[in-house]
Structure 1
Amino acid sequence: MTNVIDLQDQLQTSVAVLLGGHSAERDISLQSGQAILAALQAQNIPVEAIDSRDTDWLERIANHHRHVFIALHGGDGEDGTLQGELEDLGVSYTGSGVTASAWAMDKVRCKYLWQDMGLPTPPFAEINDESDLVKVIQQFGRVIVKPSSEGSSIGMTIASTAEELSAAYMAAREYGDSVMVEQWVQGAEFTVAILGEQTLPAIRLETDHRFYDYDAKYIAEDTRYICPCGLNEKLEQQLQQLALAAFTSIGCTGWGRVDVMQDEQGNFQLLEVNTVPGMTSHSLVPMAAKAAGLSFQQLVAEILSLSLNK
């Protein structure tokens, strides 16, 4: 585990925490960024918060920083665009690189890749204005509708009829042109955080909402986070191995989180990879780290250290 003194020695200049941005997840990003900022300050690491919505954000990094902690969720903060700009500057940054970020952000492309590799994921399809929604429901039955390139459950709706699917499609279209439907999986939901090349303890998610939506993630106080997750040792190892395989399959590095469902037959089904997970008071990676014996400050230091060593 990273020693703070060693980390301070590795840093050439102060660290920029990139937060805010333009995406629909801006509010969550601001919370994550402020938490990361405070954790670094508490460890006497020179740090500055920079909002990528500011027109001079790239210039400020180029002139004053050699290291960036990315706390941007969704949008160009996770799709590889920002990562490419930072690489052009020659600065180090936390998390996955350009290509892996792009793969993870595009749920449709990612799931096609998993299918080709034989990794389990629920049946899905991309829909558009010309899609026959009646046939979609006939093919999949109950579905969950998702913007292909958003996180935090933004724009997601369950649909069981063509009429519900039409309304859900229009809601998802508010967050981008690409919309996917995924066959609904009835069962337990898990998330597995990854730090370096290791998985952290799995967390089981339980909510009284229809699914683990935005409100259940960030607002509700009755969402249940179960860790240990309740699986026996063999099944949890299977879950962790699948999550790590999904993470590495698209080239992800550093840290992240993989969301998984367990269907009624007990089989695990991959949902998505998050390359810049939330770091708020409700967030899952800090919970998993705590279960593994890591404080929030230690977690932040380790993520930063991993970015310096790659």
Structure 2
Amino acid sequence: MKVLVLMGGISLERDVSLASGAAITSALQGNGHEVIAIDTAEGSRYLKESTRLISDDIKTAPPELGQLARYDRVQSLKIANLEELSDVDAVFLAFHGGSGEDGTIQALLDLAGKKYTGSGMLSSALCMNKAISKKLFERDDIPTPDWMLINKKDFDDELYELIRQEFSPPIIVKPNDQGSTVGLSLVEELDDYRKAIELACEVSDNVMIEEYIDGRELTVAILGERALPVVEILPKNKLYDYECKYTEGMCAYEYPAKIPDETTILIQDLGLRAFKTLECKGYARVDFRMDKEGRLYCLEVNTLPGMTKTSLVPKAAKAAGISFDQLIEQILQLAIED
């Protein structure tokens, strides 16, 4: 099968995407597929054995906005005009964040009539927008932490005081449309609220204020219609931040998680429900917090989860007896069969 792997793009999660793309490309080649890998921001093409040119190095912090400014946003969206797209059997999406995960690229591929991995345009857009996701969770009785959405144009002293009254520390402040904890802060003092909000406003027009759930960090991967074993995340920092996610040794993982069977079943059920609520397809990762009383809270659904050597979905697959190469093949087949 001839497969086009798209990665990189203009996103604060660009480095992670390139690392995922390198791993996916290698697995597809190992499975016997003819693979073309393209970084849509650079226009770079990596053919056959030249995949070593794809960087799999992830820095301990995301790229600066200024570093991304050099890329042509229009050029990065010219997917439908790619010569390689015309004769491939499927497109494997290795994007994280930005137009590669928010439904934009998915819409272009739909117009081109191409099969691609992961969720469609609508689901991708819903999952990228944390506020809309939470509204749908609440509609379908999927528990989620209390939250408030603010627009940076409306952020003034009056709104700041309202936030201080409504939310006692600690709280989570995060951009409404970013992943990999980019722009996210765990705020433990009232006097630090403003600084955290201003940080999030640097990367998004809309910022979410969210109740912090003190407890355990758990995640479940969905593959097709199956929930994989639950993974527990044990970061060295108090928060599972960008550094912990992508720096080896900064985080430990239990897979499967050491939790009661009934808790595992409940997380898997809630994960599948969230997956269906947001109309996801193919595969996704659903993130949870569990408080000290054992209550579960769904945080978000990631439609294009990481596929790096430290990523969570490959760990869940390994716990289910699925190798990385097998996981990539199953994701590809789900796209072909859709």
TM-score, normalized by length of structure 1?
Answer: 0.93
Instruction: Give the deviation of 1:117 after TM superposition.
Output: 1.7
1:137–1:160 Cα contact (<8 Å) kept: no
Task: Name segments (4+ residues, structure 1) moved above 6 Å.
Answer: none
Tell me the SS of whatever aligns to 1:125. strand
Please report how far the alpha carbon of residue 163 of structure 1 lies from its aligned counterpart in structure 2 after TM superposition: 3.0
Q: Distance in 1 between matches of 2:263 and 2:27?
A: 34
Matched, 1:208 2:208: no
Aligned twin of 1:102: 125
Name the structure 2 match of 1:298.
326
Match of 1:59 in 2: 81
SS at match of 1:85: helix
Give 1:132's aligned residue: 159
Q: Contact conserved, 1:146 with 1:181, CA < 8 A, in 2?
A: yes
Out of 191, 202, 223, the position equivalent to 2:251 is 223
Once the two structures are superposed, what CA deviation does each residue of 1:67-119 show, in whole Å capped at 9, x if it has no partner? Answer: 10000000111111110000000000000011111110000111011112211
Instruction: Identify which range, 219-228 or 24-33, moves more after superposition.
Output: 219-228
Unpaired runs of at least 5, structure 2 = 44-74
Q: Is 1:267 equivalent to 2:295 in the alignment?
A: yes
* SS of the residue 2:144 aligns to: coil
Equivalent residues of 2:248, 2:310 under 8 A apart: no
> Which residue does the alignment assign to 2:113?
90
Shift of 1:162: 4.0
Preserved CA contact (<8 Å) 1:50 1:57: no
Amino acid aligned to 2:81: E
> 1:224-279: per-residue Cα shift (whole Å, max 9, x none)?
10112111111110111011101110100100100000012211000010000000
SS of residue in 2 equivalent to 1:132: helix
Alignment of 1:1-310 (within 5 A): 11=1, 14-53=2-41, 54=43, 55=75, 57-60=79-82, 61-127=84-150, 128=152, 129-130=155-156, 132-141=159-168, 142-310=170-338
SS in 1 for 2:17: helix
1:58 is displaced (CA, Å) by 3.3
C-alpha separation between the residues in 1 aligned to 2:269 and 2:99?
29
Q: Distance in 2 between matches of 1:38 and 1:269?
A: 36
Q: 1:176 Cα deviation (Å)? A: 1.3
How far, CA to CA, are the matches of 1:199 and 1:113 in structure 2? 20
CA RMSD of aligned residues (A): 1.3
Q: Is the 8 A contact 2:243 2:250 kept in 1?
A: no
Percent pairwise identity = 41
8 Å CA contact 1:148, 1:179 repeated in 2: yes
Q: Per-residue CA shift, 1:156-175, capped at 9, x if unaligned?
A: 00123443111111111121
Structure 1 gaps, min length 5: 1-10
Taking structure 2 as the reference length, the TM-score comes to 0.85
SS of residue paired to 2:301: strand
Aligned length: 298
